[in-house]
Amino acid sequence: MDGLMKSLRSVAHLAVKELRSLWRDRLLLVFVVWAFSGAIYVAATVVPDRLVRVPIAVVDEDHTELSQRLAGVFYPPDFLPARQISLQEMDPGLDTGLYSFVLDIPPGFQRDLLAGRRPALQLNVDATQMRQSFIGAGQVQAMLLQEIQEFVSGERASGAAPVELAVRMRFNPTSDSARFTAVMELINMVTMLSIILAGAALIREREQGTLEHLLTLPLRPVEIMLAKVMATGGVVFLACALSLRVMVGGVLGLPIAGSAALFLAGVALHLFATTSMGIFLGTMARSMPQLALLIILVLLPLQMLSGGATPRESMPEVLRYLMLLAPTTHFVSLAQAILYRGAGFSVVWPTLLALLAIGSVFFAGTLRRVRRSLAAG
């Protein structure tokens, strides 16, 4: 019992030392604050999921009632008021980025349409704006086809459809992408910061010579590692909890469907795995630049293939099964289930168990690596 209490006191003293070392690194502290505040706000608000004030121009070579109606379907807030330009101004306007869409209505379009022919409209799209062009091309096409159909039929389409499709938007009734992007950015920051802080702490001690001082003390490798996991994980855990409450729920005003406490329990288990991973990378790297390269190689697959950026069902089967060994896959699944769908413990307990198992494996493997590293000096 005395030995256990002595070990706990040693871990607590080392954890306090780690926190003091982090507090002195003001640049890293600024990065932590930005990651859990500004970065989440930017991710939720800067990238829209719909068209916003898109510049569009119309080349009207027909000058008929229909061409005027087609030019008038574009209005704020999706589009800026359509500008009437000549055919000679179309290519320069697209080349200079002045317009994202240019609609060319050929001469005789209304006449040919009413005569039963199939005249063609030309929609020129600046495809360098990939997200905007992908959303906008389909939306513009639907708007034009609806206006043409109403013109040909001579009345607004108000008849009842033979079948009524009742659409229920589950878990996101307003189809607001900010809720999804904010939570996913929070998840990414938890993973990234825990790996960076844990690895950087070990490299910093090696560069400052304090690691050699630790080796002269009656400390076991498991105590050193537990202290680093607790200190690094505690900082990221606290930042995540504050960000979920203040930034996601307060500033952005996004609803949280499930239990925040259950989500934070998942965060703690995830940090157990990722901080161990960060320490492992710290034992492999001999300097901060090497650590940065290793983190990039590890972090990008973890974030891109975890199911947050793209559904796991669309990935190759080999990658799907391989990523089950990564903690981020289970963490993303757990966060989406709790924060989006309001899942309780009875639903997410297998995911929590998987995180605990993966974290234990990472911790044991990293502890073995730390022992070898410390033994080698």
- The two beta strands, 101-105 and 56-60, are parallel
Task: Please state the length of the chain.
Answer: 377
Rounded to whole angstroms, how far apart are CA atoms 107 and 93? Answer: 21
Same domain? For 120 and 187 the reply is no
C-alpha angle 314-318-320 in degrees, rounded to nearest 5: 50
Same domain flag for 28 and 138:
no
Split into its structural domains, the chain has a count of 2
Residue 41 lies in a domain: yes
User: What percentage of the chain exceeds 70 in pLDDT?
Assistant: 90
CATH, residue 68: 3.40.1710.10
User: Do 196 and 252 sit in the same domain of this protein?
Assistant: yes
Are residues 41 and 60 located together in one domain of the fold? no
Q: For 41-87, how does the pLDDT look when each residue is reduced to its tens digit (9 = 90+)?
A: 988 887 666 777 889 999 999 989 888 999 888 888 888 888 999 98
Phi and psi based region of residue 255 (left: phi greater than 0; alpha: psi -120 to 50; beta: remaining): beta
- Look up the domain containing 129 and give its range: 56-153
Residue 170, in any domain of the structure: no
| Per-residue pLDDT at 334 | 93
Identify the residue with better confidence: 205 or 335: 335
| Averaged confidence pLDDT in the chain | 85
Whether 101 and 20 map to the same domain: the answer is no
Half-sphere exposure at residue 154, Cβ-oriented, CA atoms within 13 angstroms:
1
Q: pLDDT at position 164, please?
A: 64
For residue 216, what pLDDT is reported? 64
| pTM more than 0.85 | no
More confident of the two residues 370 and 376: 370
Residues 135 and 284 in one domain: no
- Surface-to-core class of residue 140, CB atoms within 10 Å of its CB (0-12 exposed, 13-18 middle, 19+ buried): buried
Q: Beta 122-125 vs 101-105: how paired, if at all?
A: antiparallel
Lowest mean pLDDT among 13-27, 29-43, 179-193, 276-290: 13-27
Q: What is the pLDDT of residue 18?
A: 81
- Specify whether 62 is located in the same domain as 180: no
What residues pair up with 102 in beta bridges, in sequence order?
A: 57, 124
| pLDDT (mean) for 269-293 | 90
Q: Do both 134 and 205 map to the same domain?
A: no
Q: What is the average per-residue pLDDT within 242-254?
A: 90
Structural domain includes residue 168: no
- What pLDDT digit, counting tens, does each position of 97-148 carry? 889 899 999 999 888 888 888 888 988 988 887 777 778 888 888 888 888 8
Return the bridge partners of 105, or none.
60
Confirm whether 160 is domain-assigned.
no
Query: Do 298 and 183 belong together in one domain?
Result: yes
